[in-house]
Amino acid sequence: MDIISIVLLIFIGLAIVVAILVLIKGGSRKLTAQQQKFLNKQWAKIISESHNNSVQAILDADKLLAYLLEAKGYEGTVGEMLKKSGSLFKNLNDVWAAHKLRNKIAHEIGVSLSPKDVNKTLSKFKKAYKDLGAKL
| Residue 17 scores a pLDDT above 60 | no
Which tens digits make up the pLDDT trace of 25-75? 445 588 999 999 999 999 999 999 999 999 999 999 999 999 999 999 999
Residue-range domain boundaries for the chain: 1-30, 31-131
CATH number attached to the domain at 31-131: 1.20.120
Confidence of residue 5 (pLDDT cuts 50, 70, 90): confident
Residue 81 burial (10 A CB sphere; 0-12, 13-18, 19+): buried
Per the prediction, the chain carries an average pLDDT of: 89
- Hey, is 104 helix, strand or coil? helix
User: How big is the chain by its Cα radius of gyration, in Å?
Assistant: 19
pTM: 0.79
Q: How far apart are CA 48 and CA 76, in angstroms?
A: 29
> Are 29 and 88 in contact, with CB atoms under 8 Å apart?
no
Per-residue pLDDT averaged across 118-130, rounded?
98
